Each structure stands twice: as C-alpha cells, then as structure tokens.
Chains A and B, each alone.
Chain A
Amino acid sequence: MNLPRVILGAAFALAVCSCAGSPLDYRVDVSDDGPTSIRGLVVRVCERTDAYVATDESLEDVERSQVHASIGRLQSAVTSQDRISGWDLEPLATPVLDLHDAYVGQDTALQPFERSIYLDSTAALRMVLESATRGPP
C-alpha cells in the first residue's frame, strides 16, 4: 500500500468536501421539525393508504393485516428516528407509495384537483428516494 498516496488522497477528499460545504450524507431527514423533513408527508400518505385498505372489500383479512403491517413499518421507521438511510427507506416506502397511487387513481369520489395533489405527494417522495439512493449504500 502506498501510504503517502493514501494520506494525500484522503486529505484531498476532505478538502474537496470542505470546499463543497456539504457533508456526505445520504440519510433522509425524517425529524420532527426539520425544514426539509419528509416525516409529515410520509405519515399523511400512510394514513390515507391505510384508510383505503381498511375499506377495501376485495382484500382478505390476512392480506389486509399484511398491508396494514407494511404501512405500519414505514410509519414507524419515519417517526422513530431523525434520519434514515435511503437504502433502508426505499424498500419500506415503495410498496406503500405504489399502493397509494393505485387507490387514488381508482377513487372516483376524488376531484381531479385532489387526485393531482395526492399523486404529487408520492411523486415528491419518489424524488427523495431517488436522490437518497444515488450515493453509496
């Protein structure tokens, strides 16, 4: 191993980090009051999806329980900590976001404006997931 090269490289990386003024942090803000926290939006999407699931007569009880549990895991993940890795969040969130969009898309009781905003919520969350999983896991 070429130690001087390692030290020089590490020092250079730190210097670039410092110049960029931005920490290498791919963890998503799910804090209670962070200015860019997504906790509120995730909880909102979870609650809406949960309500759809509760009234979905096509689901068997076992299926319904599994989906409720899946939503609960996502909600718990974003309310029990301040930061979460995008790589941990993505597998929890994606099925719920997909389910949310399927229910919202089929809900004929919604006004177009409501539907559009509800779908924008998942679009915004998908942008977060995409950004949070670009970096090293």
Chain B
Amino acid sequence: MNLETGRQALSESLQASFQTFLHGARDDVRAFADRLALNLTNALALRREDLADEVVEQAQALGESLRLSGTASTWRAIQHALRAAFGFGMGLGDGDVAQEPIKDEEPEPLEDEPGDHAEELEA
C-alpha cells in the first residue's frame, strides 16, 4: 500500500460510514477520526503496511460505532416523540405498557446527539 492508496482507502472507509453521521458526531469522535488520518500517514511513511491496514480497520470500526449510535439516537428520538405525543414511552397501551421509566427523565437535546435526525423529526 502506498501513501495515496492508503489515504484513498481511509477516505473511502470514512466516507462510507461517516457521511450520514459524522456531522453530528461528538468532539471525541472527531478527534479519534483525525488521529486515524494522522496515524495512517505516519504508518505509510514508515512503510508499515500492517499498521496502515490496522488503521483502516479502526476507521471501519469507528464507522460502525457511529452507525449504531445513530440507531440508538433514533430509538431515543422515538421515545421522546411518543412521550410528547401521548404522554408515555414505548409502551403502547395502558395496562400492558409504559415499561420504559422515561417519564422521570428530561428529554435529551436531540440536536446534540451523534447521528441525530432531529431535522427530519421536526419536519
């Protein structure tokens, strides 16, 4: 793997997973992504393809974390939306529902969540 190939691999890996979620990612996630790019450059400068490959795989894992965070955020968004609309959580009835004790929680600011979809919800 040469430098250009490695950069392209990292870029594709990052883009594939980040395009939906990175814009709302936390600062530590962004910092980790920045470190991956730096590590890849250094690994290739040292001609350590094994390390470069590992960094690309780390980027994939970071992308998977963001993908899963997105769905977790979606789940919370649904809970909040249901609570706002009906006054209860994901339990969908009277006696057999309301298993989620979210009534005591403050709604989280959706726009601060990674992978958030607040805009769509508001629309």
Contacts and interface: CB of A to CB of B under 8 A. Distances in A.
A114 B53 CA distance: 13
A8 to B, nearest CB: 8
Interface string B47-77: 0100100110110111111111111101101
Given A121-B54, A123-B32, A40 B78 contact: no
Contact of B65 (A12, A127, A135): A127
A44 B74 CA distance: 31
B54 A20 contact: no
A44 B57 contact: yes
Contacts, number: 150
B39 to A, nearest CB: 6
A22 B16 contact: no
Give the secondary structure class of B's interface: helix
Place the interface of chain B in its size category.
35 or more
Contacts of B51: 113-114, 117
16 contacts: A1-B96, A8-B86, A20-B77, A20-B117, A28-B68, A37-B60, A41-B58, A44-B57, A113-B39, A113-B46, A116-B39, A117-B39, A120-B55, A120-B58, A131-B69, A135-B72
Given A22-B20, A24-B74, 14 more contacts: A1-B95, A9-B93, A20-B77, A24-B75, A36-B16, A36-B61, A38-B64, A40-B60, A114-B48, A114-B51, A117-B58, A124-B62, A124-B65, A131-B64
